[in-house]
Protein backbone atom coordinates (compact mmCIF):
# COMPACT_ATOMS: atom_id res chain seq x y z
CA UNK A 1 0.00 0.00 0.00
CA UNK A 2 1.32 3.43 -0.92
CA UNK A 3 1.33 6.45 1.38
CA UNK A 4 -1.32 8.08 -0.80
CA UNK A 5 -3.64 5.10 -0.38
CA UNK A 6 -2.99 5.12 3.36
CA UNK A 7 -3.92 8.82 3.55
CA UNK A 8 -7.10 8.17 1.56
CA UNK A 9 -8.23 5.38 3.89
CA UNK A 10 -7.28 7.28 7.03
CA UNK A 11 -9.22 10.36 5.87
CA UNK A 12 -12.22 8.14 5.14
CA UNK A 13 -11.95 6.54 8.59
CA UNK A 14 -11.80 9.98 10.19
CA UNK A 15 -14.89 11.01 8.23
CA UNK A 16 -16.78 7.90 9.38
CA UNK A 17 -16.11 8.83 13.00
CA UNK A 18 -16.85 12.56 12.68
CA UNK A 19 -19.79 12.92 10.28
CA UNK A 20 -22.26 11.32 12.77
CA UNK A 21 -21.66 14.37 15.00
CA UNK A 22 -24.12 16.13 12.70
CA UNK A 23 -26.88 14.29 14.58
CA UNK A 24 -25.92 16.05 17.83
CA UNK A 25 -25.69 19.39 16.04
CA UNK A 26 -29.34 19.23 14.92
CA UNK A 27 -30.99 17.15 17.66
CA UNK A 28 -33.81 18.68 19.74
CA UNK A 29 -32.82 20.76 22.77
CA UNK A 30 -34.32 18.28 25.26
CA UNK A 31 -32.32 15.37 23.81
CA UNK A 32 -29.12 17.40 23.88
CA UNK A 33 -29.69 18.39 27.52
CA UNK A 34 -30.36 14.72 28.41
CA UNK A 35 -27.11 13.72 26.70
CA UNK A 36 -25.14 16.40 28.57
CA UNK A 37 -26.77 15.36 31.88
CA UNK A 38 -25.81 11.73 31.21
CA UNK A 39 -22.20 12.78 30.61
CA UNK A 40 -22.07 14.82 33.82
CA UNK A 41 -24.82 13.89 36.31
CA UNK A 42 -26.17 16.94 38.12
CA UNK A 43 -24.95 19.29 35.41
CA UNK A 44 -27.45 22.00 34.52
CA UNK A 45 -27.13 22.49 30.76
CA UNK A 46 -28.39 25.91 29.75
CA UNK A 47 -28.55 27.58 26.36
CA UNK A 48 -24.87 28.54 26.33
CA UNK A 49 -23.68 24.99 27.04
CA UNK A 50 -25.98 23.49 24.43
CA UNK A 51 -24.98 26.19 21.90
CA UNK A 52 -21.27 25.46 22.43
CA UNK A 53 -21.94 21.73 22.12
CA UNK A 54 -23.88 22.23 18.88
CA UNK A 55 -21.10 24.40 17.42
CA UNK A 56 -18.45 21.82 18.32
CA UNK A 57 -20.48 18.95 16.87
CA UNK A 58 -21.13 20.97 13.70
CA UNK A 59 -17.39 21.60 13.40
CA UNK A 60 -16.65 17.87 13.77
CA UNK A 61 -19.21 17.01 11.09
CA UNK A 62 -17.86 19.69 8.74
CA UNK A 63 -14.33 18.36 9.21
CA UNK A 64 -15.58 14.85 8.37
CA UNK A 65 -17.23 16.08 5.19
CA UNK A 66 -14.03 17.88 4.21
CA UNK A 67 -12.04 14.69 4.84
CA UNK A 68 -14.24 12.86 2.32
CA UNK A 69 -13.53 15.54 -0.30
CA UNK A 70 -9.79 15.57 0.47
CA UNK A 71 -9.60 11.77 0.22
CA UNK A 72 -10.66 11.96 -3.42
CA UNK A 73 -7.51 13.81 -4.52
CA UNK A 74 -4.80 13.59 -1.85
CA UNK A 75 -2.01 15.09 -3.95
CA UNK A 76 -4.04 18.15 -4.84
CA UNK A 77 -5.18 18.81 -1.25
CA UNK A 78 -1.82 17.95 0.33
CA UNK A 79 -1.10 21.55 1.51
CA UNK A 80 -4.53 21.81 3.15
CA UNK A 81 -4.09 18.42 4.83
CA UNK A 82 -0.63 19.46 6.07
CA UNK A 83 -2.05 22.67 7.57
CA UNK A 84 -4.79 20.66 9.26
CA UNK A 85 -2.19 18.24 10.67
CA UNK A 86 -0.12 21.07 12.16
CA UNK A 87 -3.17 22.72 13.70
CA UNK A 88 -4.56 19.43 15.09
CA UNK A 89 -1.21 18.41 16.59
CA UNK A 90 -0.95 21.74 18.39
CA UNK A 91 -4.60 21.63 19.49
CA UNK A 92 -4.44 18.03 20.75
CA UNK A 93 -1.25 18.54 22.74
CA UNK A 94 -2.55 21.82 24.18
CA UNK A 95 -5.91 20.23 24.97
CA UNK A 96 -4.35 17.26 26.75
CA UNK A 97 -2.05 19.57 28.71
CA UNK A 98 -4.92 21.80 29.84
CA UNK A 99 -7.10 18.79 30.61
CA UNK A 100 -4.55 17.17 32.90
CA UNK A 101 -3.48 20.39 34.61
CA UNK A 102 -7.04 21.67 35.18
CA UNK A 103 -8.41 18.49 36.80
CA UNK A 104 -6.90 16.78 39.80
CA UNK A 105 -7.12 12.96 39.88
CA UNK A 106 -10.09 13.14 42.27
CA UNK A 107 -12.06 15.40 39.89
CA UNK A 108 -11.77 13.16 36.84
CA UNK A 109 -15.35 12.23 36.03
CA UNK A 110 -17.05 10.67 33.01
CA UNK A 111 -16.84 13.84 30.91
CA UNK A 112 -13.09 14.09 31.63
CA UNK A 113 -12.49 10.62 30.21
CA UNK A 114 -14.72 11.25 27.17
CA UNK A 115 -12.72 14.39 26.35
CA UNK A 116 -9.43 12.59 27.05
CA UNK A 117 -10.30 9.73 24.67
CA UNK A 118 -11.39 12.20 21.99
CA UNK A 119 -8.14 14.19 22.26
CA UNK A 120 -5.96 11.07 22.38
CA UNK A 121 -7.70 9.59 19.34
CA UNK A 122 -7.27 12.89 17.50
CA UNK A 123 -3.58 12.97 18.39
CA UNK A 124 -3.09 9.39 17.17
CA UNK A 125 -4.97 10.01 13.90
CA UNK A 126 -3.12 13.25 13.27
CA UNK A 127 0.30 11.76 13.99
CA UNK A 128 -0.33 8.90 11.57
CA UNK A 129 -1.81 11.26 8.97
CA UNK A 130 1.24 13.56 9.26
CA UNK A 131 3.66 10.67 8.79
CA UNK A 132 1.76 9.44 5.72
CA UNK A 133 1.13 12.83 4.09
CA UNK A 134 4.83 13.71 4.28
CA UNK A 135 5.48 10.69 2.03
CA UNK A 136 2.98 11.78 -0.61
CA UNK A 137 4.65 13.70 -3.44
CA UNK A 138 3.54 17.28 -4.02
CA UNK A 139 0.97 18.04 -6.70
CA UNK A 140 2.44 19.41 -9.89
CA UNK A 141 0.00 20.86 -12.34
CA UNK A 142 1.25 21.91 -15.72
CA UNK A 143 -0.83 24.38 -17.63
CA UNK A 144 -1.66 23.21 -21.13
CA UNK A 145 -3.40 25.70 -23.38
CA UNK A 146 -6.56 24.51 -25.10
CA UNK A 147 -5.39 25.78 -28.46
CA UNK A 148 -2.25 27.24 -29.82
CA UNK A 149 -2.36 30.91 -30.77
CA UNK A 150 -2.15 31.50 -34.47
CA UNK A 151 0.75 33.58 -35.65
pLDDT of residue 68 exceeding 90, the answer is: yes
pTM score: 0.79
Question: Which has the closest alpha carbon to 5: 57, 49, 101, 13?
Answer: 13
Q: Quick: pLDDT tens for 44-55.
A: 777 788 888 899
pLDDT of residue 149 exceeding 70, the answer is: no
| Structure confidence at residue 109 (pLDDT) | 86
| Structure confidence at residue 148 (pLDDT) | 62
Mean pLDDT for 87-106 is 93
| Structure confidence at residue 151 (pLDDT) | 53
Secondary structure in 3-state letters for 50-101: HHHHHHHHHHHHHHHHHHHHHHCCCCCCHHHHHHHHHHHHHHHHHHHHHHHH
| Structure confidence at residue 6 (pLDDT) | 94
Amino acid sequence: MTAETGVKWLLRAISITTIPALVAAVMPQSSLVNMLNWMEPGFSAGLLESYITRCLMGLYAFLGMQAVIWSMDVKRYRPVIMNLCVFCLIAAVAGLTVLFTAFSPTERTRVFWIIFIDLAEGLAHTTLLTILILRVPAYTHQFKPCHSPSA
